[in-house]
Amino acid sequence: METEVRDSIIPYVEQAKFPDYLVPKLAKTGILKCFFKKPYGNGAKVLLQGLITAELARGDAGVATMCVVQCGLLGHTIELLGSEEQKAKYLPKIINL
C-alpha cells in the first residue's frame, strides 16, 4: 500500500476517480482470499481480516471500501446464501477481482 497506493493516490482523489490500475495488482496478491472460507479462500481469522482492511485503509479508504464491499457485502452473501453452483461461479471471480 505504501508504494503502490499512497504515493500515487492524490491525483485520483482530486479527480474523484477510482484507481482502476490497482485492481489487477490487488488480485495478484491473493489478499482477498483471507475474507472467505475454504475451499474458495483460506479461512483467515476475523482479526487478520481486520488488520488487512486497516492496512488497505492506511493506503486509501476508497480502496479499502472497494475490497470490503466486494468481499463483505457481495461475496459473503453468496458464501452464506448461495447455492453450490452460484458459489463455484461467482466466488472465484470476486476473490480474483
Sequence spans of domains, the chain: 2-95
CA dihedral 20, 21, 24, 25 (to 10 degrees): -130
pLDDT given for residue 6 in this prediction: 80
Distance CA 37, CA 52 (A): 16
- What's the distance, CA 84 to chain centroid? 22
Specify the CATH number for 2-95; select among 1.10.10.10, 1.10.540.10, 3.30.60.50, 3.50.50.60: 1.10.540.10
Is residue 92 scored above 90 in pLDDT?
Answer: yes
Q: What's the count of helices (H) and strands (E) in the chain, helices before strands?
A: 6, 0
At 35 the pLDDT is: 93
